[in-house]
Chains A and B, each alone.
Chain A
Amino acid sequence: MVCVKRVLDPQVKARVKADGSGVDLANAKMTMNPFCENALEEALRLREAGTADEIIVASVGGGKTEETLRHGLAMGADRAIQVVTEDALEPLAIAKVLKNIAEQEDVGLVLAGKQAIDDDSNQTAQMLSALLGWSLATFCSDIKFDGDKATVIREVDAGLETIEVKMPAVMSADLRLNEPRYVKLPDVMKAKRKPMDKIELDSLGLDTANRLTTLQVEEPEGRAAGVIVNSVSELVEKLRNEAKVI
């Protein structure tokens, strides 16, 4: 199972609403979170290598989440599950929902992006692994399966860490795990005929109440305008005598 999230396109700068209630997503270009594409690409390669039999893409969200799941189907996933809610759930609640789906579907591996580029929480995969009681491998840049275990290279602050995890596991993808494939038009057409299950969040009977209340969203203070210098010597002079940083 690959967990995916619909987010603001990473090339688009987020605009804060004037009333401070959040970020304005009306009419904004939305896309699949880039790290989720890496996770899905890895799953597709596992199926192509004969390691995985079937790939489910799963997401939790409102009506337009279906577009993101269709994109996942066009990339090559076999079927999709949308847990439908218009509420903005927190990572803990999302993890509870995904645990429910993973157990219902009896999946052997969950892949997710390491971080969603909208709320930048970096929590869901870790939380899901905890709730399932499964192994956890975060920030993966290389995954090799060998029977009931996998050897994973993780991108950590100091460099690269290699760990071995027992399956089943939850793994979160870093960008260097792979390069996601482009979707071709015939794949988009084919994706329209692939199965898409919709499950109402309320039907799962889970406690998905938010624990955090967003009081305000504001823009950070901007930086004062700088100057263009005309030469390296002018730059060095300003760094020495004006900014006094060298």
Chain B
Amino acid sequence: MGNLVIVEHDNNEVAAATLHAVTAAQQIGGDIDLLVAGESCGSVADAAAKIAGVNAVKVADDAKFGHHLAENLATLIVEVAPAYSHVLASATTFGKNVMPRAAALLDKAQISEIVEVKSPDTFVRPIYAGNALATVQSSDEIKMITVRTIKFEAAAAEGGSANVEAISGGVDAGLSSWVSQAVSNNDQVDLTSAKIVVSGGRGMQSGDNFGMLHSVADKLGAAVGASRAAVDSGFVPNEFQVGQTGKVIAPDLYIAVGISGAIQHLAGMKESKVIVAINNDSEAPIFQVADYGLVADLFEAVPELDAAL
């Protein structure tokens, strides 16, 4: 029956997260088709056709899909999905928004944020902020899946030569309309794909103090992240948030500065290869997951670190 992967994109480029969902589909086995729904998204379709291992790319180029509104996009997925045994999307805010809407219309369960494929009907997913892993078996004839990207390598973006097929379908539900998008106006490294991340928590005390972290990050080619406490305190915008309800990341090096290590924060970063914690409280739970801990006043340690790099 095969896999259908819903491509996340901005009408120009394929989002990196989709490449990880393609790998999950490869592990399930069978053909892999991609669905590109957007407006003036020809370049996305061309790029999608080059992803290694892809059989066909179905492109629905229509104004009603221009902003990926869930109500419209779900109607298209519902029309296309029955030809497949598995429908996958990345577990980003894009996938989390539209996939359950489509799943319910199909009267199918969704298996959220899988981290492992055991067999075509059995998957592992984290629950309780990653403090437990559940192995679940699906009895649905179409498995609706979102994929936690950090647990699957990215498929090669080049090397494939899939057929591109234009399709029509779906309806304009006329329920929602897109107004605007405010993207943080900075040129910082992408948090979800960065090899090194420097994150600050409540201990940073202010948004201005995040300048120290940006300076260190610049030297390391790193992205800057934050704990929920720092976001809730207004130090930085939400898109910096790492945690159970923010971004889940797994860089080679994660430097946690002034972060206590609440359960919900650990859920977003404990898969990092090497974790460094800098905190003046030696009892902070972050030290339990840190490979290297430094008990120190961050306002002394961070400038010193900056100077040493």
A120 and B104 form a contact (CB under 8 A): no
A176 and B291 form a contact (CB under 8 A): no
- Per-residue CB contact flags for chain A residues 221-246 toward chain B (1 = under 8 Å, else 0) read 00110111101110110110001011
**What residue of chain A has the Cβ atom nearest to residue B192's Cβ?**
A157
- Per-residue CB contact flags for chain A residues 122-144 toward chain B (1 = under 8 Å, else 0) read 11101111110011111101000
A157 and B93 form a contact (CB under 8 A): yes
Is A100 engaged at the interface, CB distance under 8 Å to the other chain? no
Contacts of A219 in B (CB 8 A): 131-133
Contacts of B175 in A (CB 8 A): 134-136, 165-166, 169
Q: Which of A48-56, A88-96, A184-192 contacts B (4 or more CB under 8 A)?
A: A88-96
**What residue of chain A has the Cβ atom nearest to residue B179's Cβ?**
A162
**What residue of chain B has the Cβ atom nearest to residue A127's Cβ?**
B104
Q: Which of B128, B137, B290, B308 is packed against the most chain A CB atoms within 10 Å? A: B128
B244 and A120 form a contact (CB under 8 A): yes
Is A27 engaged at the interface, CB distance under 8 Å to the other chain? no
B305 and A235 form a contact (CB under 8 A): yes
B94 and A157 form a contact (CB under 8 A): yes
Q: Which of B21-29, B160-168, B245-253 contacts A (4 or more CB under 8 A)?
A: B245-253
Cα-based distance from A188 to B220 in the complex (angstroms)? 53
Is B184 engaged at the interface, CB distance under 8 Å to the other chain? yes
Cα-based distance from A162 to B274 in the complex (angstroms)? 37
Q: A245 with B273: in contact, given A175-B232, A176-B232 (CB under 8 Å)? A: yes
Residues facing A in B73-107 (CB within 8 A) are: 74, 92-94, 96-105, 107
Cα-based distance from A16 to B135 in the complex (angstroms)? 13
Q: Which of B48-56, B207-215, B293-301 contacts A (4 or more CB under 8 A)?
A: B293-301
B112 and A123 form a contact (CB under 8 A): yes
Q: Which of B129, B178, B232, B270 is packed against the most chain A CB atoms within 10 Å? A: B129
A217 and B110 form a contact (CB under 8 A): no
Question: For the side of the interface on B, what is the size category?
Answer: 35 or more
- Per-residue CB contact flags for chain B residues 113-156 toward chain A (1 = under 8 Å, else 0) read 10000000010001111111111111110000000000000000
Q: Which of A11, A169, A211 is packed against the most chain B CB atoms within 10 Å? A: A211
Q: A90 with B128: in contact, given A127-B103, A163-B176 (CB under 8 Å)? A: no
Q: Which of A68-76, A79-87, A111-119 contacts B (4 or more CB under 8 A)?
A: A111-119
**What residue of chain A has the Cβ atom nearest to residue B228's Cβ?**
A175
Is A67 engaged at the interface, CB distance under 8 Å to the other chain? no
Is B280 engaged at the interface, CB distance under 8 Å to the other chain? no
Taking a contact as CB atoms closer than 8 A, the residue among A124, A217, A243 that contacts B134 in the complex is: A217
B231 and A176 form a contact (CB under 8 A): yes
25 A-B residue pairings within 8 Å (CB atoms)? A16-B131, A95-B104, A117-B129, A117-B244, A121-B110, A123-B112, A126-B101, A127-B100, A127-B104, A129-B71, A130-B101, A130-B105, A138-B93, A138-B96, A138-B97, A139-B96, A159-B183, A161-B180, A211-B138, A214-B135, A215-B137, A217-B132, A219-B132, A232-B294, A232-B296
Task: Please report A residues at the B interface, Cβ cutoff 8 Å.
Answer: 8, 10-11, 13-14, 16, 23, 35, 90-92, 95, 114-115, 117-124, 126-131, 134-139, 141, 151, 154-166, 169, 174-176, 210-220, 223-224, 226-229, 231-233, 235-236, 238-239, 243, 245-246
Task: Please report B residues at the A interface, Cβ cutoff 8 Å.
Answer: 67, 69-71, 74, 92-94, 96-105, 107-113, 122, 126-140, 174-184, 192, 196, 220, 228, 231-232, 237-239, 244-245, 247, 252-253, 263-264, 270, 273-276, 282, 287, 289-296, 301, 304-305, 308-309
